[in-house]
Amino acid sequence: MTTTALSVRDMLVVYEDFAALNRVSLDVQHQESFGIVGESGSGKSTLLRAISGLSAFQEGSLTVDSRNFNGRKRDREFYRTVQMVFQDPYGSLHPRQTVDRLLLEPLAIHGFDNVDARIARALDEVGLGSGFRFRYSHQLSGGQRQRIAIARALIVEPKILLLDEPTSALDASIQAEILNLLEQARRDRSLTFVMVSHDLGVISHMCERLAVMKSGEIVEILPADALEKRQFSADYTRQLLVASEGFRRD
């Protein structure tokens, strides 16, 4: 049975008099992997930030697990359900905390028990052994940092994971590893993904459906395999596809 995990209706985000999101609506099903692509400034990251409560939306509605949210206010229960992985692994880990502290924090906030075992398991799950547990973030490489960021998001056992270009700051070989790790986690935990990327290749690899965004609006929503069959209606999608193929070497 597929039900709606996350639903956005007519979301409007205005900065001064610039509409970063102009009445965006989308529905993401349970256990679905939903991609959002678009050029820089198309509002895709703004959408994730508005969903997560990092920035406020002025109008519209957000429904997560049949609970309504608005503006910026999110309760603790929301963050048990929804977690986010950021783009820049160099900026998203606290510079003065060990991995242990980083992973302990969400457990402490949500009052989990058995924290030592949970931290050890979380590190194992992202392919880092206990040898990394007491390192500071400056003692880690970019890929390792992103694994820690993923472990931190997964440790509270969320149902929905928001991914804001999780691999664009990493080089190609590490990208593949991180994407495989995310795919594995999704299968193991039956997660729902909302993934933002400017890379059509990454999105079509990871996602079942995707939305194409431009200037704060959704141009179209289509299944990922429609991209390969070239069954899209919007001219902009075609341009985006051509642009991304232009850099392919095959």
Partner 1 sequence: MSVVEQHLKPYSREWLLSDRPTSRKQARIGRAYVIWQRFAENRLALFGLMIIIGLLFVAAFADVLAPHNPLQGDLRYARLLPPGSDGYLLGTDDQGRDILSRLIHGSRLTLLVVVLVAVIAAPVGLIVGTVSGYAGGWVDAVLMRITDIFLAFPKLVLALALVAALGPGIENAILAIAITSWPPYARIARAETMTFRNSEFISAVQLMGASPFRIVLRHVMPLCLSSLIVRVTLDMAGIILTAAGLGFLGLGAQPPLPEWGAMIASGRRFILDQWWVAAMPGAAILIVSLGFNLLGDGLRDALDPKEAGQ
Give the binding-site size for partner 1 (rule: CB under 8 A): 37
The separation between the first and the last C-alpha atoms of the chain, rounded to the nearest angstrom, is 39
Please report whether residue 15 would count as binding partner 1 according to CB under 8 A. Answer: no
- Candidate ranges 35-43, 134-142, 189-197, 232-240; the one touching partner 1 (CB under 8 A): 134-142
CB of 161 to partner 1, least distance (A): 11
CB 182 within 8 A of CB 201: no
- Candidate ranges 35-43, 80-88, 193-201, 235-243; the one touching partner 1 (CB under 8 A): 80-88
Hey, what are 179's tokens? 């994407």
Cβ-based neighbour number of residue 47 at 10 Å:
29
Q: Which residue has the tokens 């999704």?
A: 186
CB of 21 to partner 1, least distance (A): 18
What is the Cα–Cα distance from 146 to 152, expressed in whole angstroms? Answer: 10
CA 182 to chain CA centroid, Å, is 10
What is the Cα–Cα distance from 27 to 50, expressed in whole angstroms? Answer: 15
- Of 27, 88, 177, 217, the residue at the interface with partner 1 (CB under 8 A) is 88
Please report whether residue 54 would count as binding partner 1 according to CB under 8 A. Answer: yes
Please report whether residue 76 would count as binding partner 1 according to CB under 8 A. Answer: yes
- Of 34, 57, 78, 193, the residue at the interface with partner 1 (CB under 8 A) is 78
